[in-house]
Each structure stands twice: as structure tokens, then as C-alpha cells.
Amino acid sequence: MRILFFGTKPYDRYFFEQALALEKYRGVEIHFIEPILPAETAMLAAGFQGVCAFVNMDLGTETIRRLDEYGVKLILLRCAGFNHVDLEEADRRKIAVLRVPGYSPEAVAEHAMALALTANRHMHKAYVKGRENDFSLSGLLGVNFYRKTAGIVGTGKIGAAMARICRGFGMEVLGYDLHPNKELDFVRYVDFDTLLAESDLISLHCPMTKENYHMIQKETIDKMKDGVILVNTSRGELIRTQDLVQGIRDGKFFAVGLDVYEEEKGSVYEDLSDKILTHSTMARLLSFPNVMVTSHQGFFTREALEAISSVTLDNALAWMEGRKSGNELHG
């Protein structure tokens, strides 16, 4: 089976080639290319049975239509999220879509806490000050997490891992989820408004749906405590960025940590260090001293990349053999 691997980075190639060396994948042939997958590059998939795509790629209606025209019958997502995929169109065209649902929830949760700690204790500023021989403590004042309240929005695998981390810091943990996690007996589940009002740290761990689009906006920000710390490692569209910027300007937030943001397209995973940012809201976010931004790297650990490569190839193998892997997606 021939698969075209879009958006190849050196680490992708390394971990997938390591996995491909296993005997069980001998029937899988992967061609690695650098271009990402919007509709305009779908033509590159001609002659391939499957394509492999990531979370930053456009798999909307037009892309799916063109992939179908070029004979593609399998889309392998090397990620958990799928809000960038038109699943109904894929179903209609009988194109199978499989994902990697839980490659390393701990990796993302640990990164969420790293963002919270870095933004709170100004570790990024302290590093720069130290490099310039400035060992003063000005601008580095933080707050304790011990005996504070953490609000976890979404308590699936990643949210549950974050809840356990917060508990380890001695925090009271609140949870909001339409389907409470029964394994988290230390979490007090509350309604969304209560979580907003009582939490000192709010961490978002929910998928992007029509219902929670811009769940963090002016109205919900106004319900938060003054001096709250907000972290988002889920999807940028959960937060209305303009309202977040205004909240930061108004002094509502003690700190903000973002691994995802609304204006990711065209910038995430790319080196733009010699370019001027054209995204006005991103430029504004980066201008605030209490905001920490990373480039969708929450998943980026050795363990996660090993799991992503093996599960993606297992998904391909299952499809080739006509059996279910349990990772299929449908509209």
C-alpha cells in the first residue's frame, strides 16, 4: 500500500521510519513530502491509496473531493483532533478516516502545567534576564498553586491527567464535563459558571465542537476571578481572541498560557523568525509580558511520537486487511 505523507518534518520521518522497519509493516510504503495538505496540493496524492495528514491541514469538503478524484481511499490522521476534517463528505465518497485518539495524554497535560508555571513564575523572563546578567527579581513575582483551586474543562484522558497533576500540587480540583469521569473521585464536578467563578487556574481540555466554539469570551471572562490564570492546550477556537486580549488589557488575568490559538494557519510549525507577523491578534498576544505562547507542541515528546507512528501504521494495516482498528471516524 502506498501512502503519501504530507507536511513532513525531520522528527516525523525519523519516528515513522523507525516503526516501518518492523516486519509487520512490510506491506506499507510511505513517501514523505514537505508540502501540507490543502485542496491545492491534493493533486500530489495521485497514484496513492492513502494520505497521512496532521492537525494543521485543511481536509474540508473541497480537499476531500479532490482526493477522491485522484483515487485516495484512506486518510490517516496522525493526531487526535478531527475538527479540520469534513467527515460527512468523506463518508459520502467512501473514504475511510482514522485517527490516533490517545497517543500521550500525559504529554499534553504536562505541557499545560508547564505553561501555567512558566506564565505564573515568569520563567521565560527570568531566563532572558539571567542571560543578560540581570539577576534582580523585578517583574518575576508569582503566586502559589498550593491550596488554590484548579478548574479543568473537559476531563477525558488529557483533562484527567491534568487533574492528577493539579492534585499533586495540593490544589482543589473542580471539573466541568457533560460526561464526568468516574475515575476522578477527587474532582468536584460543578456547572461551568461555578468553575469560572471559583477557579484560580482554568485549563481547557475539550474538543472543538459547534457547541463550545468561543466558550471563553467576554461574558465568560467576566465571570472569572480577578487574577485568574488561563491555559489552553486544546483548540484555539475555544477562545475568542479579541475578548481575551481585552481581558488581559483590563488586568483580568494574572497570566495566560497558550499552546493553540485562532490564527494558527500559516504559522504553526513554521519558522517565521525572519518575517513580520501579519496576524494582528497574535502580535498583540506576544506583546504582553504575562502571556506565554508555544506552537502547538503539547504533544511533542519522544513517547508521543513513538505512539503516533505505531498507531498510525496499525490503522493503515487494519484498513489493508479489511478489519476495524477502533479508531475510525464517521460524520
Q: Which residues are catalytic?
A: 235, 264, 296
Q: Is 57 exposed, middle or buried (0-12, 13-18, 19+ CB in 10 A)?
A: buried
Q: Beta strand pairing status for 96-98 and 291-293? A: unpaired
Round to the nearest angstrom and report the end-to-end CA distance of the chain.
25
Of 248, 286, 253, 254, the C-alpha closest to 267 is 286
Of 307, 279, 274, the C-alpha closest to 293 is 279
Cα separation, 185 vs 180, in Å, equals: 10
Task: Decide: 132 and 103 in contact? Cβ < 8 Å.
Answer: no
List all residues 6 or more positions away from 179 whose beta carbon is below 8 Å from its beta carbon.
none
Contacts of 164-173 spanning 24+ positions with Cβ under 8 A: 164/109, 165/109, 165/110, 165/113, 166/113, 166/201, 166/203, 169/145, 170/145, 170/146, 171/145, 171/146, 171/147, 171/201, 172/147, 172/148, 173/149
DSSP, collapsed to helix, strand or coil, labels residue 191 as coil
Of 203, 204, 195, the C-alpha closest to 225 is 195
Task: Decide: 229 and 116 in contact? Cβ < 8 Å.
Answer: yes
